[in-house]
Amino acid sequence: MIPVEDRHSPYALPVLETFYSIQGEGLNTGKAAYFIRMGGCDMGCRWCDSKEAWNWVPESWTTVEVLVAGIVKSKANSVVVTGGEPLLYDLGLLTQQCHKHNLKLYLETSGAHKLSGTWDWICLSPKPQKEPLAEFYSLASELKVIIYDKHKDFIWAEKMADRVNKDCALLLQPEWSRFNETKPWVVDYVKKHPKWRVSVQTHKYLRIP
Ligand code: SF4
């Protein structure tokens, strides 16, 4: 941990939680991964399932050294950095240190803030209230759009799909709190537009974090 006055350095980050679990959603569903959930987000999605992260202000930020030691101890071979919005912070040192341990690095971001760090996989989950920066369209490994609204979210998804690189996987994810409504919309849409795949939050079925 570092003192408050040393914040905003790449040496420490406002970590809400860490845990070793299974990636529950997206193209890498089912893979074991060590999760680092960063505090802070400025998007305000009404269906957000990590609202506790929005205004997370820890007494002390966690040093990269402590974070990496925790990952190594867990024996994980890959790390998912998520939030909140991880790119509110400089992740360069964290990724550099993780790569030294041959860890595979996955980032989950809205793309609304400048990229830092080097990543093996970038999941771009864009939000219309703050569009992604242009750099993310060429870098995204997967585009994951959450479907909450029957019409607007599909239009948003297609707008984003038109911008991402040709190798980027396209995923539509039914929003969980309205799953009974959103699931049939997404299933029907993917059947009609097979360039998309369905992403389901399987960790919620498995009842794991
Ligand atoms: S971008 Fe993610 S963490 Fe932030 S409000 Fe939206 S769903 Fe929640």
What does the domain layout of the chain look like in residue ranges?
A: 4-206
Q: Report the C-alpha gap between 142 and 154 in whole angstroms.
A: 16
116's tokens: 């830092």
Going from the Cα of 109 to the center of ligand 1, the distance in angstroms, rounded, reads 9
The β-bridge partners of 38 are 15
Query: Is residue 145 lining ligand 1, measured as CB closer than 6 Å?
Result: no
Q: Which amino acid is present at 2?
A: I
Q: At residue 108, does pLDDT exceed 80?
A: yes
E-strand stretches of the chain: 12-13, 15-22, 32-38, 62-63, 78-82, 104-109, 121-124, 142-147, 169-174, 197-198
Strands 121-124 and 62-63: unpaired
Could you tell me what percent of the chain has a pLDDT over 90? 88
Instruction: State the pLDDT at residue 60.
Output: 81
Task: Compute the distance from residue 33 Cα to the ligand 1 centre, in Å.
Answer: 20
- The CB of 83 under 6 Å from ligand 1? The reply is yes
Superfamily per CATH, domain 4-206: Aldolase class I (3.20.20.70)
Model confidence at 10, pLDDT cuts 50, 70, 90, reads confident
In the structure, what pLDDT confidence band is assigned to residue 1 with cuts at 50, 70 and 90?
very low
Q: What pLDDT does residue 96 have? A: 97
Specify the range with the lowest mean pLDDT, choosing from 10-14, 15-19, 36-40, 88-92.
10-14
Contact in structure between 108 and 89 (CB atoms under 8 Å)? no
50 lines ligand 1 (CB under 6 A): yes
Taking residues 74-98, what's their average pLDDT?
96
Rounded percentage of the chain residues whose pLDDT exceeds 70: 96
